[in-house]
Structure 1
């Protein structure tokens, strides 16, 4: 039914079926790399069925034409280029040359190309993420397999140990970008989806031969609300003209017939819906990309699906060090995927396993003053498991000395002044 690009269609469908069960998939990924391509494939099937098994065009033929000639006219006008001339406009040679419409025969192939464009960014990311230290898909697949083969507690501990080993390897590496490679690839994936939406708009503009990128709004207003399709609209014309020649007794007679493009009514509705869906996907993907970048850069702690300060042997300083120095960007990204795929309870268990290994690695006396040896020390110390700011601690110690020894004696210079 799809002709010479049938194998391409089958390969694309097989690729989408494999992506359906991927673990490293969020909502925006599913909308871009899975749902939208399936919608485009469904549009391809609908248009192809009308082209090959239905009657895509219906022409008004002269009365003297027989049944065979009538079928010839329909097939000829569908294969050859038709042209659009609004009602009340004279049909001239210039109108015949400037208003040709030939895109409808290529619509199925272009729709498949657009579906492939939505899949390409994810496939590129799928190749790049395997080279990162923290392999998102591999780690999630390891956790899923461990949960099926062993008890949940053992699976969580094994997964936490696997993540901890990778974190230690990243910390020992001299490459500064070792701990953020997966995050950069993830951001580039979102950026690829945004660029794809822009390229889709450019492709639609040139394929439909429209003047600007807001053609969907103007077409919807002029055609659906004002009802001026036959006078003003030429993107998806319903009534077109077709020229053909008939040889009779050695002489050629040219005929111009009027045809109804039934196929264009289907193409029009599908493309208008796809145009506004493309705008929605662009806004959704852009907002998700910017929100992800803002959270990673300025509110990284909010992405951890638990309050680290409530964990035993943890305080704000240790939480800050655990997030910034140990988890880094890639560790937090992995935990967000674990939270999305396995739930907050399992994620909290994994974090507990990581914290146990983190606390065991710290020095025994590092819990008293943990921020004095950092590059950018925070003004916090741990005092009887309570975190107190340094200025408040100094005031508290000073008041305790006054209660025991009494007020401190004034300086000698001040006593002389009083005398």
Structure 2
């Protein structure tokens, strides 16, 4: 057991220990990529010890068999195919060939395969996320190291400066998916977990040789509530039959013995629990992925751990622009992980640093003032005559007339207009 399963077990255990300290995790990710494979690896070790160092099967041998023959029967029936015949059914050749039970010998290897399948989506995501501009894991690791080496306020400022540079680079890029690469990869990670749950169900159905995907509900009802496991065909039979031949004086004598599958009682509880756990993980991951996609598409502001409108120099218009044009999808995803891993206070400090740079970039300078020589000058020089006093307007008109025509005898007319 140690020679065959040992390297596989050590490799999976090492991957789980390495992933335990990862920062780019949420609760659903931990359930899929760490907790579930950890339990499966632990169950693999327990079942392997029972198979190879315990007594997985116990057979009722004929009375004339000695101790050595008794051990031979137990070992033979474990490594050869056994079969199940319900109580009260005649043991015929057809019955012997209909229901062979041989999956239990492969349970440890299949459990390791199932554990690897749970780790695979995260491992694939781990290879591709490094090519994104934000580099979610790298950014979180940078912030963690900064928090250890600097004061918290300085670490948040350094991290905000680093993230701001990446956001500017994403905004200036002409790539189709720039600004949302990390978010798309993370969404595909969630989708990978869902596909894995479906493949796990298909694997269980074919490995246990059951008829449909609802076998867990029917088996739980028949075994635990109705107690008909030994009356009808069972997925995990506790009592099986085993045929073997004994050569004596040149003649072969066939014996059929009844055996108790002690190991099957453990495997039954394991796979029943795992079946319903798969359903739970599938529903949880699906709901989490849909909620994540809905918030990213329609409620991005709800993912920010603070009210941006309460920040200095911010208003609803600027907040909307800051979220949509500057943070974009990847920036918001990174801030949600800062919030979950380091707390809302540190996330607010990082947001303050980003807002400070955003507001500074929005301030107009002298180069943005429009000249009067540009087109449509009336937008900048028009004034309202109603705001000028009437006597000042009349004096200005009178002086202009004198400059052009000289003194005019009709000056009293101006006075009439004044009196009017």
Q: TM-score range by the shorter chain?
A: 0.7 to 0.9
The residue matched to 1:159 in structure 2 has which SS? helix
The residue matched to 1:364 in structure 2 has which SS? coil
The runs of 5 or more residues in structure 1 that have no matched partner are 367-400, 402-419
Deviations 1:124-182 (A, max 9, x none): 00011000000111111111111111111211111000000000000110013110000
User: Superposed, which structure 2 residues align to 1:295-334 within 5 Å?
Assistant: 295-334=295-334
CA contact (8 A) 1:197 1:278 kept: yes
**2:74 maps to what in 1?**
74
The residue matched to 2:288 in structure 1 has which SS? helix
**Distance in structure 1 (CA, Å) of the matches to 2:2 and 2:12:** 13
Deviations 1:254-277 (A, max 9, x none): 111111111101100111111111
**Distance in structure 1 (CA, Å) of the matches to 2:261 and 2:3:** 22
**2:346 maps to what in 1?**
346
CA contact (8 A) 1:24 1:136 kept: yes
Deviations 1:68-125 (A, max 9, x none): 0011000000000000000111111111111111000000000000000000000000
**1:363 maps to what in 2?**
363
Is 1:228 the counterpart of 2:228? The answer is: yes
**1:137 maps to what in 2?**
137
Instruction: Report deviation, 1:234.
Output: 2.0
CA contact (8 A) 1:241 1:258 kept: yes
Instruction: Report deviation, 1:310.
Output: 0.5
Instruction: Report deviation, 1:2.
Output: 4.1
CA contact (8 A) 1:33 1:122 kept: yes
User: Superposed, which structure 2 residues align to 1:392-403 within 5 Å?
Assistant: none
Deviations 1:365-402 (A, max 9, x none): 89xxxxxxxxxxxxxxxxxxxxxxxxxxxxxxxxxx9x
CA contact (8 A) 1:23 1:141 kept: yes
Q: Which has the larger radius of gyration?
A: 2
Instruction: Report deviation, 1:3.
Output: 4.0
Distance 1:109 1:2, change over 3 A: farther
**Distance in structure 2 (CA, Å) of the matches to 1:87 and 1:60:** 16
**Distance in structure 2 (CA, Å) of the matches to 1:221 and 1:146:** 56
Instruction: Report deviation, 1:49.
Output: 1.3
The residue matched to 1:118 in structure 2 has which SS? helix
Deviations 1:20-55 (A, max 9, x none): 000111100100000000110111112111101111
Aligned CA RMSD, in angstroms, stands at 1.2
User: Superposed, which structure 2 residues align to 1:269-280 within 5 Å?
Assistant: 269-280=269-280
**Distance in structure 1 (CA, Å) of the matches to 2:363 and 2:288:** 40
**2:252 maps to what in 1?**
252
Is 1:219 the counterpart of 2:219? The answer is: yes
- Bigger CA drift: 3-12 or 109-118? 3-12
Is 1:205 the counterpart of 2:205? The answer is: yes
**Distance in structure 1 (CA, Å) of the matches to 2:3 and 2:144:** 41
User: Superposed, which structure 2 residues align to 1:125-204 within 5 Å?
Assistant: 125-204=125-204
Instruction: Report deviation, 1:345.
Output: 0.6
**Distance in structure 1 (CA, Å) of the matches to 2:264 and 2:332:** 50
The residue matched to 2:260 in structure 1 has which SS? strand
- Bigger CA drift: 225-234 or 321-330? 225-234
CA contact (8 A) 1:5 1:109 kept: yes
CA contact (8 A) 1:222 1:233 kept: no
**Distance in structure 2 (CA, Å) of the matches to 1:197 and 1:233:** 27
**Distance in structure 2 (CA, Å) of the matches to 1:29 and 1:319:** 30
The residue matched to 2:240 in structure 1 has which SS? strand
**TM-score, normalized by length of structure 2?**
0.86
Q: Where do 4+ consecutive residues of structure 1 move more than 6 Å?
A: none
Is 1:112 the counterpart of 2:117? The answer is: no
**1:408 maps to what in 2?**
none
The residue matched to 2:257 in structure 1 has which SS? strand
Deviations 1:213-269 (A, max 9, x none): 110110010001111111114210001000000000000001111111111011001
CA contact (8 A) 1:60 1:257 kept: yes
**2:391 maps to what in 1?**
none
The runs of 5 or more residues in structure 2 that have no matched partner are 367-385, 387-420
- Bigger CA drift: 2-11 or 44-53? 2-11
Instruction: Report deviation, 1:287.
Output: 0.5
**1:409 maps to what in 2?**
none
**2:49 maps to what in 1?**
49
**Distance in structure 1 (CA, Å) of the matches to 2:44 and 2:152:** 45
**Distance in structure 2 (CA, Å) of the matches to 1:14 and 1:34:** 12
